[in-house]
Amino acid sequence: MALEFHISPGGSVPIYRQITDQINHAVLAGHLQSGDALPSVRALAETLVINPNTVARAYGELVRDGVLESQQGKAVTVAPRRQKYTKAERLRRLEPALQAFVSAALLLGFTPAEIGAMVERRLAEFASRTPGKGDGRD
Amino acid sequence: MALEFHISPGGSVPIYRQITDQINHAVLAGHLQSGDALPSVRALAETLVINPNTVARAYGELVRDGVLESQQGKAVTVAPRRQKYTKAERLRRLEPALQAFVSAALLLGFTPAEIGAMVERRLAEFASRTPGKGDGRD
Amino acid sequence: MALEFHISPGGSVPIYRQITDQINHAVLAGHLQSGDALPSVRALAETLVINPNTVARAYGELVRDGVLESQQGKAVTVAPRRQKYTKAERLRRLEPALQAFVSAALLLGFTPAEIGAMVERRLAEFASRTPGKGDGRD
Amino acid sequence: MALEFHISPGGSVPIYRQITDQINHAVLAGHLQSGDALPSVRALAETLVINPNTVARAYGELVRDGVLESQQGKAVTVAPRRQKYTKAERLRRLEPALQAFVSAALLLGFTPAEIGAMVERRLAEFASRTPGKGDGRD
DNA sequence: GTGGTCTAGACCACG
DNA sequence: GTGGTCTAGACCACC
Q: How far apart (Å, rounded) are the C-alpha atoms in residues C54 and A32?
A: 32
Q: Which residues touch strand E (CB under 7 A)?
A: A 38, 40-43, 53, 56, 59-60, 63, 70, 72-76; B 9, 14-17, 50-51, 53-54, 57; C 9, 14-17, 50-54, 57, 71-74
Is residue C114 predicted with pLDDT exceeding 90?
A: yes
- Backbone torsion region of residue B35, taken as left when φ is above 0, otherwise alpha when ψ lies between -120 and 50, otherwise beta: left
The helix or strand, by DSSP H or E, that contains position C68, with its residue range, turns out to be strand C68-69
Contacts with A, D 6-45, CB within 8 Å: 9-10, 14
Strand F atom within 7 Å of C77 CB: no
Contact exists between B and A (3 or more beta carbon pairs < 8 Å): yes
Q: How far is A73 from chain D (nearest CA, A)?
A: 10
Closest CA to the C1' of E6: that residue is C54
Closest CA to A93 of D106, C62, D108, C65: C65
Q: What percent of chain B has pLDDT over 70?
A: 85
At residue D136, does pLDDT exceed 90?
no
Q: Are C26 and C3 in contact (CB under 8 A)?
A: yes
pLDDT in tens, B14-56: 888 888 888 888 887 778 888 899 999 998 998 888 888 899 9
Residue B137 has pLDDT above 80, yes or no: no
What is the rounded average pLDDT of the residues A96-106?
Answer: 87
pLDDT at B10: 64
**Rounded Cα–Cα distance for residues B17 and D70 (Å):** 69
Q: Is the CB of A73 under 7 A from strand F?
A: yes
For residues B87 and B93, give the distance between their C-alpha atoms in angstroms, rounded to a whole number: 10
Helix (H) or strand (E) holding D78: strand D77-78
**Calpha distance A106→A114 (Å, rounded):** 10
Residue B84 CA to residue B89 CA, distance in Å, equals 9
B and D touching (3 or more beta-carbon pairs closer than 8 Å) = no
Residues 38-67 of C with CB under 7 A from strand F: 38, 40-43, 53, 56, 59-60, 63
Backbone angles phi, psi at D56, to 5 degrees: -60, -40
Rg (CA), chain B: 17
Q: List the 57-86 stretch of A: residues with Cβ below 8 A of D.
A: 69, 71-72
Residues in B closer than 8 angstroms to C72, CB to CB, are 14
SS (H, E, C) chain B: CCCCCCCCCCCCCCHHHHHHHHHHHHHHHCCCCCCCECCCHHHHHHHHCCCHHHHHHHHHHHHHCCCEECCCCCCCEECCCCCCCCHHHHHHHHHHHHHHHHHHHHHCCCCHHHHHHHHHHHHHHHHCCCCCCCCCCC
**Tens-digit pLDDT profile for residues A79-89:** 998 888 999 98
Is A133 in a helix, a strand, or coil? Answer: coil
Closest residue (CA to C1') to nucleotide F5 in the complex: A14
Chain C: nearest CA to D13, how far in angstroms? 10
pLDDT of residue B128: 67
Confidence at residue B132, expressed as pLDDT on a 0 to 100 scale: 47
- Percentage of chain A exceeding pLDDT 70: 91
Whether D117 and chain C come into contact, CB under 8 Å, resolves to no
- The H or E element spanning position D45 is helix D41-48
Separation of alpha carbons C71 and B10, rounded Å: 6
Per CB-CB distance under 8 Å, the chain D contacts of A71 are 9-10
Residue B135: predicted pLDDT:
43
What is the predicted pLDDT for the residue at C2?
59
Cβ neighbours of C83 (radius 10 Å): 19
Q: Which residues contact B123 (CB under 8 A, 6 or more apart)?
A: A102, A106, A112, A115, A116
C74 min Cα distance to partner chain A (Å)? 20
Chain C contact probe: residue of A86, A87, A90 with most C CBs at under 10 A:
A86
Residues A93 and B104 sit within 8 Å (Cβ to Cβ):
yes
Q: Give chain A positions within 8 Å (CB) of B13.
A: 100
More confident residue, D11 or D61: D61
Q: What is the pLDDT of residues A14-27, one digit of tens each?
A: 899 999 999 998 98
Strand F, nucleotides < 7 Å from a protein CB: these are 1-10, 13-15
Whether the per-residue pLDDT at B11 is higher than 90: the answer is no
Where is pLDDT greater, at D132 or D65? D65
Torsions phi, psi of C129, nearest 5? Answer: -115, 70
- What pLDDT is stored for residue D3 in this prediction? 63
pLDDT for residue A133:
44
